[in-house]
Structure 1
Amino acid sequence: MRNLKRITTISSTIAALMFAAQGVLACGTYEGRLILEDVADQFVRDDPDDIGHTEFQLLSPYTFIDCNGTRHTVPPYREIGGETVPTVINGASIPPSVWSLVGGPWSGRYRNAAVIHDYLVETRYSSSDVTHRIFYDAMVTSGTPAWKASLMYYAVLKGGAYWEEGSAFVSSDRVADLSVEDLEEVKQLFLDRTYSPEEIQRLAEN
């Protein structure tokens, strides 16, 4: 266990150094092992051709500690309506239109961050702006390339779920506005130079 914790710390340190070289500060850390079981065969899809959303059950607690030291833990089980149910995630909190540019929700370094983000979106953590920023910081901590973390952050801000703190959850209709062509243009911006999270937010608001 001690060796595993040491390996996790070393991995986070390497990711931080990678992002420092790109002008992005990685200040978070992960705690625990990400253990997932593919349970897609237990779910019936409305669209049988939709192969992007693959359901996984989390088998052990997984935590992201953000830059403020706040712990965001995804439990393997939780109480819903008086019943104990397993935590199942599928990457649906990430707009599908961005997948063709970065890969599916489980294919890159951002997989760890997608687990945290899915859970925080489903449980309506704080506000959508806070939740999406945690996603960005978690991607940076995972070692996701700066342009890719920026593009995915832009995508969830522009086309992801939206809700305000203390209000009922509101599903966004903005996903339709995220065409692959538009995302290609934004991707090039992020390849040309490093944008701060605040700059990405302003870009998504336009």
Structure 2
Amino acid sequence: MTRLTLIAGLCAALLPACSPLAVLEKAREVDAPVASCDRYSGPRCTFDKAPLRVLPEPVTIGGRPYQFFPTASQLNFVDADGTTWIAPRRTLTDGASVPQIFISIVGDPTSPEFRNAAAMHDAYCGIGNETGGMFHKARWQDVHKMFYDGLVVGGAAPGVAKLMFAAVWLGGPRWETSLTLDHVPVAARQQSMRKAKAFIEREDPPINRLIKFLETQDTALITAYPKIGATKAAAGPQDGSMAAAAVPATETPETFGQDGEEIIDPVIVDPVTLVPQTGDRTILLPPGEITADLDMPVDGETGGTESTKGDPGQGLQ
């Protein structure tokens, strides 16, 4: 029996005049427990390979600040529910999954503890993986929640993991839903992200409360910016990576948005090349390429560890 059914039954028995709206409001007040790796102790919440290993085959995708690399082998992750998530071999990843419009709020999204989670997230919704075997094979909400669990398991501090989760929830991809935010002006989404950051820093909420808070932000944004005809809002591609915001041809980067609304903290990122490394060995790219220290091990080098921990659960159907 769902919590909504239970509340509706009690309402019908005790308060015959209870309205449907009141039932929904009561349902929102119930904190349903959500299994997560920040509060779980047991054999789950594990990656089977760490650190992430990539092939020395850089891929450039237009408009992206970092180069992508294919993963060297299949990566498996078991979350707190016992669900197995799979990033197939040759999943393209740039080691980051935070939308570019939020980088100035969230900070550097390419730290080593983020990379396994980013690669797994990319397998399900990242650009360049549209033809992959796991692309959009789970609900967008579950994929973003998996990203949070993966960050925690990878070693990210809980507060940082919650901040990055909020960023992909508010700015990352959504599919099989009409409740999208891609039409909402960048400034409005950045303001919601700031509210989420303040809430996380003030309350340190468990993940179920954070999800409820983000759902209220969804409602506020969709109510303030309904989808009515064409919009001038700068959406930008929402693929779970650091995507550059799309600017309408008739407006400048400083003023694009609804009714010429200014963008808060526009992010300008110079293109760099992420280079897989192990120890002091660097894969050399063609002359003229700019390099940045990604420090992801190259396939064939030593240094990765295999884990036999993890309950395979039911997997994804």
TM-score range, shorter chain: 0.5 to 0.7
- CA gap of 1:143–1:129, structure 2 versus 1, over 3 A, is same
Matched, 1:62 2:81: no
Match of 1:75 in 2: 88
- Contact 1:105–1:111 (Cα < 8 Å) also in 2: no
SS at match of 1:64: strand
Bigger helix share: 1
1:35-184 equivalent positions in 2, closer than 5 A: 35-37=53-55, 39-40=57-58, 42-43=59-60, 45=62, 47=63, 50-51=64-65, 53-76=66-89, 86-90=90-94, 93-122=97-126, 123-164=135-176, 172-174=182-184, 176=186, 177-179=188-190, 182-184=192-194
Question: Which residue number in structure 1 is paired with residue 49 of structure 2?
Answer: 32
Counterparts of 1:175 and 1:119, CA distance in 2: 27
- Greater CA radius of gyration, 1 or 2? 2
Q: Cα 1:132–1:175, aligned 2, differ >3 Å: closer, same or farther? A: farther
Out of 181, 205, 210, the position equivalent to 1:195 is 205
Confirm or deny: 8 A CA contact 1:93 1:161 kept in the other structure.
no
CA apart distance, 1:120: 1.4
- The answer (yes or no) to whether the contact 1:105–1:114 under 8 Å persists in 2 is no
**How well do the aligned residues superpose, as a CA RMSD in angstroms?**
2.9
Q: Is the 8 A contact 2:74 2:88 kept in 1?
A: yes
TM-score relative to the length of structure 2? 0.46
After TM superposition, where is structure 1 displaced by more than 4 Å over at least 4 residues in a row?
A: none
Instruction: Tell which has more relative contact order, 1 or 2 (C-alpha 8 A, sep 6+).
Output: 2
- Alpha carbons 1:63, 1:71 under 8 Å: kept: yes
1:43 partner letter: T
Distance in 2, Cα, partners of 1:173 & 1:90? 26
Q: Deviations over 1:132-161 (max 9, x none)?
A: 111111111122111111111111111211
Aligned CA distance change for structure 1 residues 36 and 171 (closer, same or farther; 3 Å): farther
SS for the counterpart of 1:67 is coil
Distance (Å, rounded) in 1 between the aligned partners of 2:174 and 2:113:
24
Pick the structure with more strand per residue. 1
Partner of 1:13: none
Structure 1 regions of 5+ residues with no counterpart? 1-22, 77-85
Q: Count residues in correspondence.
A: 166
Q: Per the alignment, in what secondary structure is the counterpart of residue 113 of structure 2?
A: coil
Task: Give the residue type in structure 2 aligned to 1:69.
Answer: G
Identity of aligned residues (%): 25
